[in-house]
Amino acid sequence: MFNPSQDTNVSSSVYDGRAALQELDATKSGVRGLVQSVPVIDLREVDHAAVVANVRRAAADWGLFQVTGHSVPQELVAAAQSMVRTLFHDADGGEGTLKGRLYSRDPNKAVRYNTNFDSFESPVTNWQDTLYIITDPEVPGALGELPKNGRVLWLRKTFEAHAGYLVRIAIRGTWPQGKLLGRHRLQSGPDMLACHYYPPCPEPEHAIGMVRHSDWGFLTVLLQDQIGGLQVLHNDTWVDVVPIPGAFVVILGDMLQMVSNDNFTSCEHRVVAKRTGPRVSIASIPTQAGSTRNYGPVKELLSHTRPPLYKETLASVYRKHCASIGLGNKGVHDFQI
Ligand SMILES: O=C(O)CCC(=O)C(=O)O
């Protein structure tokens, strides 16, 4: 699971094998006890309060969990993945092609395709291409710029409807005081889809699919295919987010950490490169791009013993800051009071 050669931020301290064995011995749980697995929450569970409690626990302990038993039909999930893989990413690029026309590093373009949005800021180049689709019709040109391809529109609509629903469920569970997040209108539905593509990598031991990072927004809802490679950092260990057909992965982001005043922390995750593939994932990300609201620690959570830990900021300012420092650097530290 853990491969130091693929981690850019691993400290170079010397590994103490004997101490590790002593630690293992003390657990009395054997090697089986070393296997940690990402929480899976089944929404079909009839006891709604139990679902909310499970979401809350998973959010607090892991910052990431998988959701099954949702209402999104499996055929839609499979069709969305196949559309991204076959119709777009597997097609040739270059001058005169659809990919060539959409290739851009301008974050204001409603539909754009590129390799590593932060190629010129980040010290690491990921083994990954991405098609971005801004789905917020308020953004100038959002609909006009979509390729004349009904399936792209369909992908947008599918995710808007279903990811919005999942986000609401996740929000209900992830907030320590019930309805606060909804009341503060911290997150609506998704307004950007990032459709990632990781081709088979000839030298995975020398590459990374997507470098270790936390997401900048409130919550990301991610659909991954069966290839695997997504890992979450939990108790200093990289744990595989093992693909479950049709499941959505919910990932807590930096803005949630800031407004919750560290009641929740955004989780660090990465994607390891693989010889097998291509791998496809679709992340639905709320950008709050048009919001004129300053976000900071929610007042109801503060007291003289719990002062605010973060400055207030516009979501668009925070997002730009994260883009400027590149993936792999946690932007929240720069907004600490
Ligand atoms: O491809 C994946 O599974 C992860 C994508 C991701 O981490 C992101 O979009 O921030």
Q: What is the pLDDT of residues 146-161, one digit of tens each?
A: 555 555 565 666 665 5
Please give the Cα distance from 36 to 252 (Å, whole number).
19
Quick one: pLDDT at residue 125?
Answer: 84
Q: What is the pLDDT of residues 8-50, one digit of tens each?
A: 443 445 778 898 899 889 988 888 877 789 999 988 877 877 8
CA of 97 to the centre of ligand 1 (A): 26
What pTM did the predictor assign?
A: 0.84
Sequence-distant (6+) residues with CB within 8 A of 184 are 259, 298
DSSP 331: G
Please give the Cα distance from 208 to 226 (Å, whole number).
18
Average pLDDT of the residues in 156-184: 55
Quick one: pLDDT at residue 230?
Answer: 97
Average pLDDT of the residues in 244-261: 90
pLDDT of residue 164 exceeding 70, the answer is: no
Please give the Cα distance from 184 to 167 (Å, whole number).
15
CA of 281 to the centre of ligand 1 (A): 7
Confidence of residue 65 (pLDDT cuts 50, 70, 90): very high
Q: Is 42 helix (H, G, I), strand (E, B) or coil?
A: strand
Q: What are the two backbone dihedrals, phi and then psi, of residue 61, each rounded to the nearest 5 degrees? A: -80, -35
Pocket residues: Cβ below 6 A from ligand 1: 194, 196, 210, 215, 222, 224, 230, 269, 271, 281, 283
What is the chain's Cα-based Rg?
A: 20
Confidence of residue 141 (pLDDT cuts 50, 70, 90): low
- Helices 74-82, 150-174: inter-axial angle, 10-degree rounding: 120
**Could you tell me if 280 and 90 are in contact, meaning their C-beta atoms sit under 8 angstroms apart?**
no
Q: Amino acid identity of 101?
A: R
